[in-house]
A and B are shown apart, each in its own frame.
Chain A
Amino acid sequence: MSAIKVEKLAYSYVGLEQGQSVKVFEDLDLEIEQGTFVAILGSNGSGKSTLAKHFNAILLPGGGKCHVYGMDTADEELLIPIRRSVGMVFQNPDNQIVANVVEEDVAFAPENLGVASPMIRHRVDNALKQVGMYHYRTHAPHLLSGGQKQRIAIAGVIAMEPRCIVLDEPTAMLDPKGRREVMETVARLNKEKGITVVLITHHMDEAAKADRVVVIHKGVVRADGRPKEVFSDIDYMHELGLAAPETVELCHELNKLGYALPLDLLESEDCAQALYNALGGN
């Protein structure tokens, strides 16, 4: 079943100059299967975030269609079920946290959805456990680290029990530990709870953890496949202003010395083993 289906999407926004219109998409098709973990890559201004905002009807198509679990996002009547199905997490955790106590913040969305109070208690506890922040439920969010705050924001989305979570550069402001915490949480929600994950990122190593990588360039899908396939075309990635994970970049450079290392080694352990064999270590 498809979680998100975008057909012939066209979208333009009004520029700052009067009467100016800036085209983001003309004719974009993309389908995301329920339960998959998809990373969307693209240089700044490629249209990634604009696309993501179509996934829960923050933006509506200027042309073509966007369906979320079969619901047309242009149908105003369906706005609430759409927003319940697809939750969004943004870059800056400080802009997403509204309450003074962690558990109250997580309860904000289900309260607004009119969930009955005993159910809210259950959902909040459950969501906090899933992101590993249950222990902090009575803490003040502003005293937490960036990674912890971002996990609270994710818990706030999970408490709505969405089937899909869209994260727009959730780790851009985090330190290495915070990044690891968020990435582990997202991967676990996908693997254990079957939640569809759409991750927009500039970190190639994060995209490498996805089932599928979609590369958008100037409003057009330019690459789409398993991370190993997409990153192994390293010259093409460079051409699009992107990169490959450092392990792949390393093998690529070493191949210029005459080695024939595969360009799909995304884990440092795999990369080390291949290098060990190539260097005659075995």
Chain B
Amino acid sequence: MARVDIDNVVKRYGTVQVVHGVSTAIEDGEFVILVGPSGCGKSTLLRMIAGLEHVSGGTVSIDGEVVNDVAPKDRNIAMVFQNYALYPHMTVAQNMAFSLKLAGVSRQEMQAKVGNAARTLGLETLLDRFPGQLSGGQRQRVAMGRAIVRDPEVFLFDEPLSNLDAKLRVQMRAEIKALHQRLKTTTIYVTHDQVEAMTMADRIVVMRDGIIEQVGTPLDLYDTPANLFVAGFLGSPTMNFIEGRIEGGRFLNDDGVSIAAPGGLPEAPVIAGIRPNLVGLADKGSPFEVLVVEPTGAETQLVLQAGKTQLVALVQGRVALQPGASVGITFDPAGLHLFDRRTGTRLPQMSPS
């Protein structure tokens, strides 16, 4: 096990810079998820840690040792790829044993390690099959087995679940999490799926356009997003953003929204963010028109509009509303996030209780 330090890392392809001086530290045994939209540099960063991409500037250290010029095989890492990247001409057992074979491990030890990994992942009965004869979930397990047998100090996952169907993804998510809890190996996991990030990570690193937007535990990021991007990226359904201003200790906008704001804020144009589940229905609230009603059984999602302001509300249970109906809306002031309208950064305020 080891900690990974990323210090001011830059990646350039020719004259195009795609990662702009990123720094973060991953503690020993931690499960860290790099998340962001496609093209944000998260996979590139992971590949630089793996040694598959050259580091153009800055340093990557594993266990305190700079590994910029160390070959991937000598970094003591293992990687799981998005499309599994199993060797099609080798059986499951041979796939898992390949790295041990190259390292010159004895036959008995090889069999013992492959056997152990197969037991951990429930692959014992599949050891003689070829990858082409396995289902997507089984292939993903073999790819993980290939990583486990090496007993690496750091696990790297590059969007390992995006080729699986939704149900299998949920199941594999739990398996990977359980595996990490058992092995306690430092893990860096790349995904564009914020649900994966929220549910699996000890800490999340949110990236955009080659820089880190925010680092923190899932709930920290959910409760106090540093800027509009992080606020909008994490959480489903997406946070509502309402343009307005601070006036007399309240957030107001032209379409009748009025929410009590924390004290001590200058009167200025702002963007308010409020999660759909903190938007409530009440007779005496701001009047909105119902556009869409989406019942999911346990809860109902409503799309609402007043003037130019559009909102999504997620209410528990069922509501007897039809599109076109008028409804009053209240907002939970404790869940109010305020962002500077110009820079998009979170306004300094008391953290919501």
Q: Is B a genuine binding partner of A?
A: no
A residues sitting closer than 8 Å to B (CB atoms) are: none
